[in-house]
Amino acid sequence: MSAVTDTLSTPAERRAAIPALELMDLRVGYGRVEVLHDVTLVVPRGAVVALMGPNGAGKTTLLNVAAGLLPPTQGCVHVSGIHVNGVAPEVFSRAGVCSIPEGRGVFPNLTVRENLRVFSHGSRHPVGHIEAIAFEHFPKLAERRGQLAGTLSGGERQMLSMCRAFTSEPVILLLDEISMGLAPIIVGELYEKVGQLAASGIAILLVEQFAAAALGVADYAAIMRQGRIETLGEPADVVDSLSEAYLGRMSA
Amino acid sequence: MNLVLSYAVVGLVLGCLYALTASGLVVTYTTSGIFNFAHGAIGMFMAFTYWQLAVGWHLPVPLALALVILVLAPLSGALIERLIVRPLYGASLGITLVVTLGLLLLLLGLADAIWPPVTTRQLPSVFPGQIRVFGVVVTVYELMVLVVSVAVAVGLRFLFTHTRVGITMRAVVDDRDLTARSGASPARTAQLSWALGASLAALAGILIAPLQYLDQFNLTLLVVTGYAAAVVGRLRSLPLTVAGALLLGLVQSYATGYLPTSLLSDIGPAIPMGLLFIALLVRRQERLAQARLTGQRTRRVLTLKPSLALAGAFIALSVVMSEILSPGNLLTYGQGIVLGVVMLSLVLLTGYGGQVSLCQMTLAGLGAFCMGKIAGGNSILGLAAAVALPAAIGGLLALVVLRLRGIYLALATLAFAYSMDYLFFNHFLGFGGILAVGRVLARSQRGFLVEVSVLFAALGVGVLALRRGPFGRRLAALNDSEAACASIGMNITAVKVTVFVVAAGIAGLGGALYGGWQGQVGPDDFQMLTSLILLLLVTLGGIDTVGGAFAAAIFYAFSPVIQRHIPISNFQLLAVGAGAIFLGRNPGGFAGQLTMLTDRLRSRARPVGLRDAQAAPSAAVPIEAEAGRPGAPGGEAARLVGSH
């Protein structure tokens, strides 16, 4: 601790040294079934971490814990150095966590504009400004502003849910499989936006099955299997263990 | 011509009142996903509070109005949300139903205790005077109702489409978790909507009250009429709700105007309920999570030997009781047992089959009616008819309400029960009329008690045997998932109709025994309210066990005894209401507690791993909640899941 403060002199540097998200020794379960066993994962400020692994590895569970929706039975969650265990998910949001759930990040019975209106809870901007930001990044949504979000196409829906990342200016963004069920060309567009968000200094923890898309933007990659993080490293280093995680070890 | 217009004005005013009520109901339902059966009771309670302030304590009318509608009602709404509704967000639909019904009873009991119905109370007329519009005399009060309703409708519309707080209320319904992810507090938003709902209920209650004397039960039910309008709006759409309410008001007004009075006195009060019934039936089908009244874990069903042993023990208990109890206590004990038979029908129908019924006492009443009317009132023929006729009616009812589930089924049975109160019981038995009902076999009080106890024990063993057999398995499957049953080719219709028929038969038998035990019955014996109390009592005992019915019967039997020793009136209503509310925290009921206790003792006997021990306290709940997580079929369940 003191070593860190000694070498970092300015307050800005010191702040930058505090990770955006720290998950320490997490144990999480649904009822009697424990699904995360002693998971520790740190997302440094401004870094993009891709979380990968086969179905049922516990990736979404991990994101839900980081979003405050699921309390861990053991371990701590820190958001930019603040201990946020046990508080309500809306407080996580105010502490700087923006979490976009898989495939249903919009309110289907509200119009596009009304969705943005609700998103404005987690933002310091006034409503008018939020619409401007959203429509600037996703011009398509401007044409759909009066339409119910439930009637949007899958890609448009994902765009609308991504708006929250732009309007709330979070410390850490949690993305769960934004490519789910979308055409490759739209996935490409969305990942362009993820790149923009990362470039603006927002730390991102993303879960993705589409390894190429995720590893393209990620600074680090973690591979989860059966409730544990098995491999952690830079994208180039994990590619081999990735196919192993999905397909099993090759015995030749 | 003038007459037609006059009735139109009366109808519109009535419709506006219903619209006020129904929109309050829709507001709370759409924002918290919980259908508030106590909405009417809240309105009633607030109307009485207003009377207390304005008449009892002589406060100026505007001050009293403002105090009730703007301060007391919202506060109590918020309080109800915080204390009673919030623990329900992860609960099954059935539990929310029981808890809000419990709140209804509690408020009824409280209002009855605070303002004893020995004096007649009338609200001060806020706006005296009348004016003429197009040759029709309109009172200022009627004009006020119209203006207030339009203002409320416009205000609500604006709130829900143009303000962030209103839009957030709608967002909470769509996706509770996502609202929290967006940084808004779902709990606080729901609290706000309950405050608003209570305020609307108070407004409706106060405006409806001048139409008659203040009466707890009638006022609660008048507001219940608004349910029909809410159902027309599919519990979601405010414009449709208002349209439904106006239609309801007009139909009622013209019926009052043009039906012959002799006919009207019978069917008049039943009109709104009849419309509710029709609205339910023509309503477009939507996916709904099923109302389950069972506790969260499946209980082992008692096998034959222990159930026979317990039945024997129960009969022995009754024999002893028949010897030692004083005549007064014997009367209440026997009453508990005969009503226990009716409650057994609820265990079968609602506990095992998941079909909520608020009309079992109506079916029991039909049983008593057959018993009393046929062959001198004490023949085995009458007893057979007392089983057969309710069973037939139950079967018909089942066919009519076949596709209704959850709160809609509850509302339909409620409408049936309420209509029958007027169409059948008041008509054939007369207001305050009596019908002598005899007994079969044993004639003496003690002998008949033993006879009734043997029947209760036999039926209990029978119901358990039914549950263990193939039919019981189908019933349990139906309770778990109708969709799954349909997909494996099970004949849902046959199972549903059968269970309705058998349960109605048992209820009819219970009614005949009830009549025999009392010696005579009147229309008041089979009121809808009694059905409600019975359902809540059995749920308190544990609705998926025969033991639950037994516990409920014993409580029913001895509550008058307890009543004699405490100064609070309405002990039974208050106890059942309060108990049902606490059920929100412990859905298994009394029997569920026992099961949990024995399970805990059993698990203590063998060593438990560290991990198990950590997860144990919340073991039962999250698994259930997980099944209803977003993504599971039926948006309803998803909506009800909160953070746990």
Q: B143-184 pLDDT, tens per residue?
A: 888 899 999 989 998 998 899 999 998 888 788 889 999 988
Cα of first residue to Cα of last residue in chain A, in angstroms, is 47
Distance CA A33, CA B486 (A): 31
Considering only CB atoms, which chain B residues are within 8 Å of A37?
none
Decide which of A11 and B140 is more confident: B140
Q: B47-85 pLDDT, tens per residue?
A: 999 999 988 898 888 899 899 999 999 999 999 998 888
Decide which of B325 and B266 is more confident: B325
Q: Domain count for chain A, please give it.
A: 1
Q: Is the pLDDT of residue B644 over 70?
A: no
Q: In this predicted structure, what is the pLDDT of residue B263?
A: 65
Q: Which of A190-199, B110-119, B206-215, B630-639 has the lowest mean pLDDT?
A: B630-639
Domain of A236? Answer: 2-103+168-247
Q: Which of A239-248, B172-181, B335-344, B480-489 has the lowest mean pLDDT?
A: A239-248
Considering only CB atoms, which chain A residues are within 8 Å of B161?
114
Q: For residue A17, tell me if it sits in a domain.
A: yes
Q: In this predicted structure, what is the pLDDT of residue A251?
A: 57
pLDDT above 90 as % of chain B? 19
8 Å CB contact of B643 and A88: yes
Q: For residue A28, tell me if it sits in a domain.
A: yes
8 Å CB contact of B167 and A114: yes
Q: Is the pTM of this model over 0.90?
A: no
> Which amino acid does the sequence have at B141?
Y
Q: Is the pLDDT of residue B638 over 70?
A: no
| ipTM of the complex as predicted | 0.88
Q: Between the ranges B342-351, B413-422, B473-482, B586-595, where is the mean pLDDT highest?
A: B342-351
Q: Between the ranges A145-149, B26-30, B580-584, where is the mean pLDDT highest?
A: A145-149
Q: For residue A112, tell me if it sits in a domain.
A: no
Bridge-based pairing state of the strands A48-52 and A74-79? unpaired
Q: B452-470 pLDDT, tens per residue?
A: 999 999 999 999 999 999 9
Q: Is the pLDDT of residue A51 over 50?
A: yes
B622 touches chain A (CB under 8 A): yes
B288 phi, psi to nearest 5 deg: -135, 145
Confidence of residue B295 (pLDDT cuts 50, 70, 90): very low
Confidence of residue B505 (pLDDT cuts 50, 70, 90): very high
Q: Which of B89-93, B116-120, B524-528 has the lowest mean pLDDT?
A: B89-93
8 Å CB contact of A118 and B173: no
Q: What is the CATH number of the domain that holds A180?
A: 3.40.50.300
Confidence of residue A217 (pLDDT cuts 50, 70, 90): confident
8 Å CB contact of B164 and A118: yes
A53 with A110: CB under 8 angstroms?
A: no
Mean pLDDT confidence for B110-117:
85
Q: Which of A131-135, A229-233, B284-288, B371-375 has the lowest mean pLDDT?
A: B284-288
Q: Is the pLDDT of residue B38 over 50?
A: yes
B597 touches chain A (CB under 8 A): no
Confidence of residue B583 (pLDDT cuts 50, 70, 90): confident
8 Å CB contact of A89 and B626: no
Q: B129-141 pLDDT, tens per residue?
A: 777 777 777 888 8
Q: For residue A133, tell me if it sits in a domain.
A: no
Instruction: Tell me the two tokens of residue A230.
Output: 């098995």
Selecting from A30, A88, A107 the residue whose C-beta is nearest the C-beta of B178 gives: A107
Contact partners, residue A36, CB within 8 Å, separation at least 6: A26, A27, A28, A29, A58, A61, A62, A65, A72, A227
Instruction: Kindly provide the b/e burial profile for residues B523-541, where b requires at least 16 CB atoms within 10 angstroms of the residue's own CB.
Output: bbbbbbbbbbbbbbbbbbb
Closest alpha carbon within chain B to A71 = B644
Q: In this predicted structure, what is the pLDDT of residue B591?
A: 63
Domains and CATH numbers, chain B: 2-282 (1.10.3470), 304-590 (no CATH), 606-640 (no CATH)
8 Å CB contact of A73 and B614: yes
Q: Is the pLDDT of residue B595 over 90?
A: no
Q: Which of B131-140, B154-163, B510-519, B634-643 has the lowest mean pLDDT?
A: B634-643
Q: B424-433 pLDDT, tens per residue?
A: 887 776 555 6
Q: In this predicted structure, what is the pLDDT of residue B454?
A: 92
CA-based torsion, B191, B193, B196, B197: positive or negative: negative
Decide which of B630 and B498 is more confident: B498
Q: For residue A163, tell me if it sits in a domain.
A: no
A227 to chain B, closest Cα gap in Å: 15
Q: A123-169 pLDDT, tens per residue?
A: 888 888 899 999 999 999 999 989 999 899 988 999 999 999 998 88
Q: For residue A95, tell me if it sits in a domain.
A: yes
Confidence of residue B616 (pLDDT cuts 50, 70, 90): very low
B174 touches chain A (CB under 8 A): yes
Which of A122, A113, A118, A179 shows the shortest CA–CA distance to A152?
A: A113
The Cα-based distances of B519 to A242, B444, B512, B522, B550 in angstroms read 81, 11, 10, 11, 23
Distance CA B69, CA B577 (A): 25
The CA angle B189-B194-B200, to the nearest 5 degrees, is 130
Contact partners, residue B96, CB within 8 Å, separation at least 6: B34, B35, B88, B584, B640
Q: For residue A241, tell me if it sits in a domain.
A: yes
pLDDT above 70 as % of chain B? 84
A42 touches chain B (CB under 8 A): no
Selecting from A67, A73, A90 the residue whose C-beta is nearest the C-beta of B184 gives: A90
Q: Which of A78-92, B31-45, B118-132, B546-560 has the lowest mean pLDDT?
A: B118-132
Considering only CB atoms, which chain A residues are within 8 Å of B620?
31
Q: In this predicted structure, what is the pLDDT of residue B504?
A: 95
Mean pLDDT confidence for A203-218:
86
Considering only CB atoms, which chain A residues are within 8 Å of B171?
107, 110, 114-115, 118
Q: What is the DSSP string of B12-79?
A: HHHHHHHHHHHHHHHHHHHHHS---TTHHHHHHHHHHHHHIIIIIS---HHHHHHIIIIIIHHHHHHH
Distance CA B467, CA B409 (A): 22
Q: For residue A207, tell me if it sits in a domain.
A: yes
A114 to chain B, closest Cα gap in Å: 7
Round the average pLDDT of chain B to a whole number and report it.
Answer: 80
Q: Is the pLDDT of residue B485 over 50?
A: yes
